[in-house]
């Protein structure tokens, strides 16, 4: 499978942080109605979008972090760390919902209306705050962009089972993941929900990409230096096949009238998986050539956003929501190209600034921990 180089075993990978940063920026512009840059993101040229990349990278990074902790401090510590991570993601979900509701209340009080406000569930919350609030607490109601966080929470809680299984028996883990993916529409009935459609992202389906990400981290391909002539030939054939598949899906997306509908994404259809896997292989070849690292070195601010993924995601939901509302109000719902581009630039600049601030805060906290951990005689 695929492995992105890292500075050390279990260390951060520059490529992973770069891709995560790119995806976070894509998510922001993709959710701004009238966005100019949104016309050039994955969702316009592929059957899949930034979500697939994000989930795959989550599995990849989780496998790296979990095994590093388990090898250094033991499995019990690793399990406890990811239980804490699940709790952190649940709190992040509640924070995201609270911020969206606060923004909705603000614009409602100002008597300013935009279509996107309806996705925050502010109308139903004002009518029945206790009931709607309780539904949000138990994850039965997941307004707007917050809907991806409950899925990540479940993945974090399942990591103590998934990662060791992938590490010891990868093919059995993948087979089990495929079986769960096939049964995902039936298993979704066990999730708490207040709508017939269910969760925006069915975690029983999307876990497939999370598991594939973990497999790619724990069972990487051999390096070029160690592969024989037959392996090199197979790699070139696979690259040609992946390119053909990716081009086929590109033509399908651009030239064929194709309306997949929400269920197509909700349950992670096989077309989305196939399209993503083809592009993944091509990108992996670019990574092995060192092209992505060179690009990441030049775009360090994007890497910084990726390093602070959770903070930037929560902030990004607010940025895209606010940009969408203000763009709608400023243009009476008819944004032109330049207005859309201006909104994009403001949103991206805000994301980069938040990434820098979050990184500075993380480094400040790390220095304080190290200072407190020093023996008294060392001061």
Q: Could you read off the pLDDT of 127-178 as tens digits, one per residue?
A: 999 999 999 999 999 998 899 999 999 999 999 999 999 999 999 999 999 9
Residue 288, pLDDT score: 85
Residue 3, pLDDT score: 55
CB 51 within 8 A of CB 28: no
| 78/135 Cα distance (integer angstroms) | 31
Closest to 57 measured CA to CA, from 233, 310, 241: 310
Q: What share of the chain is helix, strand, coil (3-state, %, to 5)?
A: 80, 0, 20
Whether residue 117 has pLDDT greater than 90: no
List of residues 6+ apart from 137 with CB closer than 8 A: 94
Average the pLDDT over 361-369 and give the result: 87
Closest to 316 measured CA to CA, from 15, 52, 30: 30
| 19/14 Cα distance (integer angstroms) | 9
| Average model confidence (pLDDT) across the chain | 89
Residue 6, pLDDT score: 47
DSSP 254-266: HHS-----HHHHH
Residue 2, pLDDT score: 59
* pLDDT > 90: percent of the chain: 67
Q: Which residue has the higher pLDDT, 351 or 230?
A: 351
| 60/5 Cα distance (integer angstroms) | 12
Residue 44, pLDDT score: 80
Cα 12-18-21 angle, rounded to 5 deg: 110
Whether residue 11 has pLDDT greater than 70: no
CB 142 within 8 A of CB 200: yes
| 331/206 Cα distance (integer angstroms) | 37
Q: What b/e string do you get for 328-358 counting C-beta neighbours within 10 Å, with b at 16 or more? A: beeeeeebeeeebebbbebbbebbbebbeeb
Whether residue 335 has pLDDT greater than 50: yes
How far, in Å, are 35, 48, 243, 254 from residue 257 at the CA level?
Answer: 22, 16, 22, 8
Q: DSSP alpha helices (H): ranges in the chain?
A: 14-30, 42-45, 50-73, 75-109, 122-127, 129-137, 148-168, 170-182, 184-187, 203-218, 229-255, 262-266, 270-289, 291-298, 300-307, 309-331, 337-373
Residue 10, pLDDT score: 43
CB 242 within 8 A of CB 278: yes
Q: How confident is the model at residue 99 (pLDDT cuts 50, 70, 90)?
A: very high
Closest to 269 measured CA to CA, from 151, 185, 149, 143: 185
Closest to 308 measured CA to CA, from 9, 6, 25, 10: 25
DSSP 322-370: HHHHHHHHHHTT---HHHHHHHHHHHHHHHHHHHHHHHHHHHHHHHHHH
* CA-based R_g, the chain, Å: 22
Cα 330-331-332 angle, rounded to 5 deg: 100
Q: Could you read off the pLDDT of 245-266 as tens digits, one per residue?
A: 999 888 888 777 665 556 688 9
Which residue reads 């406890």 in tokens? Answer: 80
Average the pLDDT over 298-324 and give the result: 94
DSSP 127-154: H-HHHHHHHHHTTS---GGGGHHHHHHH
Residue 301, pLDDT score: 95
Distance from the Cα of residue 355 to its chain's centroid: 16
List of residues 6+ apart from 197 with CB closer than 8 A: 262, 266
Whether residue 268 has pLDDT greater than 90: yes
């Amino acid at each position: 499978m695929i492995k992105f180089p890292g500075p050390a075993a279990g260390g951060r990978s520059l490529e992973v942080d770069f891709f995560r940063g790119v995806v976070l920026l894509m998510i922001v512009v993709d959710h701004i109605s009238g966005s100019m840059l949104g016309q050039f993101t994955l969702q316009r040229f592929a059957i899949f979008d930034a979500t697939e990349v994000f989930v795959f990278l989550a599995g990849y990074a989780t496998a790296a972090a979990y095994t590093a902790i388990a090898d250094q401090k033991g499995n019990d510590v690793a399990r406890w760390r990811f239980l804490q991570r699940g709790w952190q993601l649940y709190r992040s979900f509640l924070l995201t919902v609270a911020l969206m509701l606060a923004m909705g209340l603000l614009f409602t009080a100002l008597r300013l209306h935009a279509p996107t406000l309806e996705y925050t569930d502010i109308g139903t919350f004002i009518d029945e705050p206790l009931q709607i609030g309780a539904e949000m607490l138990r994850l039965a109601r997941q307004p707007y962009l917050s809907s991806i966080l409950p899925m990540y929470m479940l993945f974090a809680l399942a990591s103590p089972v998934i990662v060791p299984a992938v590490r010891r028996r990868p093919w059995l883990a993948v087979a089990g993941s495929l079986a769960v993916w096939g049964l995902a529409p039936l298993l979704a009935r066990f999730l708490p929900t207040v709508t017939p459609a269910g969760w925006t992202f069915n975690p029983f389906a999307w876990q497939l990409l999370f598991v594939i990400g973990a497999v790619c981290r724990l069972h990487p391909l051999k390096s070029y230096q160690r592969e024989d002539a037959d392996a090199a030939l197979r790699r070139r054939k696979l690259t040609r096949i992946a390119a053909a598949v990716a081009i086929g899906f590109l033509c399908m997306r651009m030239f064929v009238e194709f309306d997949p509908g929400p269920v197509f994404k909700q349950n992670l259809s096989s077309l989305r998986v196939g399209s993503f896997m083809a592009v993944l292989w091509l990108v992996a070849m670019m990574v092995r050539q060192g092209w992505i690292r060179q690009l990441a070195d030049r775009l360090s601010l994007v890497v910084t956003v990726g390093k602070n993924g959770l903070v930037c995601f929560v902030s990004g939901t607010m940025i895209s929501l606010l940009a969408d509302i203000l763009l709608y109000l400023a243009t009476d719902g008819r944004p032109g190209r330049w207005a859309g581009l201006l909104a994009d630039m403001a949103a991206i600049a805000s994301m980069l600034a938040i990434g820098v601030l979050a990184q500075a805060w993380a480094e400040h906290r790390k220095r304080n921990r190290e200072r407190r951990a020093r023996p008294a005689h060392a001061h």
